[in-house]
Structure 1
Amino acid sequence: MSKENTSIHEFDLNLICEYFSQLERQGPGSPEVTIKALSFIEGLSETSRIADIGCGTGGQTMVLAQHAPGHIQGLDLFPTFIDLFNNNVQKHHLQERVRGIVGSMDKLPFQPEEFDLIWSEGAIYNIGFERGLKEWKEFLKPGGYVAVSEASWFTEERPHEIEEFWLDAYPGIDTIPNKIAQMQRAGYVPVASFNLPVNCWIEHFYALQTEAQNIFLQKHAGNNAAEGFIANQRHEEKLYYRYKNFYGYVFYIGRKL
């Protein structure tokens, strides 16, 4: 298997963390999409509690904090991301309402029914969409909301090349109707779903990586693992341009029964 076809899961986590720490967002998205998803959430107030799980360096969390009342707790597995997250909190003067902590999404350090809203952009795949929704529900108040973006198929059939790539990278990828059914089975009333526009991938994610990739390769010149990782990222980008009509990210918003 060539370096570009190697699954991202086969690369060293420290390399992955170092690379993505250079980026404002660790996955496709945009401020406009974050705000749109937030528009489907009702009843938030100054006393509301929000968790952003798999928050990364907090690009989307800062947008969330600027458009939603209440207190936000970001959680991510990588200490480097959380250090950058809390630096961003300071830069945006949000330290009275926003805080990042290190933790794992499969063992959340929260209290039952602590939150009015659980947010996660492009990260729930780490635990699996349906499993994450089921396990995180414990930490939502009755009537609380969950809002997550997730890789999804737009069509029932797709070319073999892209299907093979995604089934290797994330076997949990599925069609939008199946994802909504999974949300229902997990104990939520589906409130809304919408596809992230193409600019979330091209302008807000891939276009910002060119300089980051060059810096990363210069720093790790001669490192086969680092070169292989960047080859993998560039291959993923080429596949997106070729097959973007067949898949993308979808925001799913649900309310706990």
Structure 2
Amino acid sequence: MTALPRFDIAGRVALVTGSSQGIGLALAQGLAEAGCRVVLNGRDEAKLQRARDTLAERTGGDLVTCAFDVTDAAQVADGIATVERDVGPLDILVNNTGAQHRAPLVDFPDADWYRLLETNLTSAFLVGREAARVMSPRGHGKIVNICSVQSEVVRPGIAPYAATKGGMKMLTKGMCADLAPSGIQVNGLGPGYFETELTAALVADETFSGWVRGRTPAGRWGKVDDLVGALVFLVSPAADFVNGQILYVDGGMLSVL
């Protein structure tokens, strides 16, 4: 990092929501390896502590936990205040919390529609708004919203999920419009199909897995480590004039028919 000072983020305080497993855990690890003081977030404190212990052993980095419900405005306000008081001024926010539910549109339950909206989209609005309130007076900050290839395209059975991720894309652009004058860069990171705990059944389904490999020019599923370099770029000084963009890390999937 010393050879590339524009990418140096050592010492910055970074909050990653939904970071006890999967993509969030990998992104938190990448930020810790880059020298950030990383705040892990989720609702289950015991699970967060296990994630923290795992990452501390892997990286030797500076990691803390802050459990709160990102869909609850009061808890979000208290959580950001706790980070500011106990960890330090928040420099980086990664809005990663997300959920999926697959069902045909005509059978999709109301409760799951609202759950996906709250988990995938409302959470990013609430946490992003609260982060912006503390970042704006300082004149700098980085917010990265985790979007998806489903911010652009969709398959049968996931229309509500795609709607939330399409909304995340436009929330990112809207946040840019409002927050760029305050020195805050807001961008999106859009994963393609990645191997995680949540996609294990799909990876194991040879028909579906074969479709993913055939549809992706790179010919494989993504590994969570594939996302780290893109994130480090977006939250570094190298991206100070990059704002309102969605960086897709999808092995080329969106580039081909």
Q: Scaled by the length of structure 1, what TM-score is found? A: 0.51
Q: What's the offset of the Cα at 1:153?
A: 4.0
> Counterpart of 1:114?
89
Residue 151, structure 1, aligned to residue 148, structure 2 = yes
Say which of 130, 139, 142 aligns to 1:142.
Answer: 139
Specify whether residues 165 and 137 from structure 1 end up closer, same or farther in structure 2 by C-alpha distance, changes over 3 A only: farther
| Count of paired positions | 184
**Residue equivalent to 2:66:** 101
Q: Tell me, what secondary structure is at the counterpart of 1:102?
A: coil
Residue of structure 1 aligned with 2:58, choices 80, 83, 92: 92
TM-score, normalised with respect to structure 2: 0.51
Cα distance change of structure 1 residues 183 and 153 upon mapping to structure 2, 3 Å threshold: farther
Structure 1: which 5+ residue stretches go unaligned? 1-34, 211-230
1:172 matched to 2:164 = yes
- SS of structure 1 residue aligned to 2:164: coil
Instruction: Quote the sequence identity (%).
Output: 6
* 2:16 counterpart residue number: 52
1:11-68 alpha-carbon deviations (Å, 9 max, x no partner): xxxxxxxxxxxxxxxxxxxxxxxx9xxx99866343x22212221233321221012x
Find out whether 1:65 has 2:36 as its counterpart. Answer: no
Q: 1:242, CA displacement in angstroms?
A: 9.8
Partner Cα distance (2:158, 2:213) in 1: 14
Q: 1:127 aligns with which of 122, 131, 139?
A: 122
* Cα pair distance change 1:110/1:59, threshold 3 Å: same
2:144–2:189 contact (8 Å) kept in structure 1: no
Aligned to 1:81: 47
Give matches, 1:207-226, under 5 Å: 209=200
* Distance change >3 Å, CA 176–CA 130, structure 1 → 2: closer
Q: Which moved more, 1:106-115 or 1:135-144?
A: 106-115
Give the AA of the match of 1:52: V
More helix by share: 2
With over 3 angstroms needed to count, the CA separation of the structure-2 counterparts of 1:146 and 1:209, relative to structure 1, is same
Name the aligned partner's letter for residue 73 of structure 1. V
Structure 2: tracts of 5 or more residues without a match: 99-118, 217-221, 244-257
CA distance in 2, matches of 1:60, 1:72: 10
